Amino acid sequence: MAFTAAELNLVNQSLGRISSTTISAAENGSTTCDTYVKANLHYAQTRDSLLRRYEWTFAVAQSELALISTLTLDHQPLPDAWAVGDTITGITSGNTAEILTVVSPTEYEIIYLTGDFEDTETLTNATVYDVLWEGLPVTWEDEQVVWYDSSTSDETTCAITTTAITPLFRYDYQYELPDDYQRLTKNWEETESDYEWAVQGHRLLSDRDEVNIEYVRKVTDPAEFDPLFTEVLILSLALKLLSPLQGTQNTTFRQELKQDLRQAMSKAGLVCTVEKSQSGYSSWNSARWGSGKV
């Protein structure tokens, strides 16, 4: 996959830093261009590892985590079972959920996106549309009328049971972390006495039935990068590309590049610290390793 124009500009700055041949627009995305292939191999991994390393203020976001539940149906949706990633909608309630895991054709791990399903209402994985007349929603007996193509979607009308999934031991609830999650910076429930939590895989395990977090998100658009992060990324990528593109370099050049990187990281870390009035450093080490206890 070719770099975007902004990514290519950043990559070429890294290549220029080690006096390597830069990548032209025509070479961008070409597997016959050795420089592109090697830069592409390291770019995304270097960016993501740097995002995970610090509490970069430009990448910090807040989220109320979605509780993971088991949805049990008394018969399979027709004509086919639902699939991972499907968004299912309750036709009566209008509420939605996302399928995380297919346990069986009648049992699914879900996270609610809005509200809860009502027992015995019709569920579908089709796109549900409001019915409009001259641009205004149509209602019947005070209920808004919706439409979906039942002939091309899977649906079911049956008894519905939703139960929060309990981890195998120690914790009471499981939560799905955001899709763009890179690292936890603050769990706002940790001020509670004897409150425990842990990050395992892409889930947060907790004793609480509601969890709000601050986290570093995965940012891929260079236009959103802080200039200090951009500088660190350029130098980090340059250091990784030094050997594969330039071969053996004298020790002095490599050490100078490492020193420039250390200074850039120090400046960036200082600015990020100053811009946070409460950074949650008491839990920083615990967050890094994926668990914490207060």
Q: How confident is the model at residue 290 (pLDDT cuts 50, 70, 90)?
A: very low
Distance (Å) of CA 101 to CA 81, 109, 155: 12, 5, 17
Element (H, E) at 44: helix 34-53
How far apart CA 29 and CA 3 sit, in angstroms, is 7
Which among 32-36, 129-133, 163-167 has the top mean pLDDT?
32-36
Average pLDDT over residues 59-86: 92
**Token match 């627009």: residue?**
25
pLDDT(252) > 90: no
pLDDT(194) > 80: no
How far apart CA 152 and CA 169 sit, in angstroms, is 41
pLDDT(112) > 70: yes
pLDDT at 238: 95
pTM over 0.85: no
pLDDT at 286: 35
pLDDT digits (tens, 9 = 90+) for 148-193: 887 778 888 877 888 888 888 888 999 999 999 999 987 766 555 5
All structural domains of the chain with their residue ranges: 5-59+220-285, 68-164, 167-214+287-293
Tokens of 199: 């990050």
Q: Identify which of 285, 237, 256 has the alpha carbon closest to the alpha carbon of residue 8.
A: 237
pLDDT digits (tens, 9 = 90+) for 207-247: 888 899 999 999 999 999 999 999 999 999 999 999 898 76
Task: Note the residue count of the chain.
Answer: 294
Provide the 3-class DSSP secondary structure of residue 230.
helix
In the chain, count of helices (H) and strands (E)? 5, 20
How far apart CA 46 and CA 162 sit, in angstroms, is 41
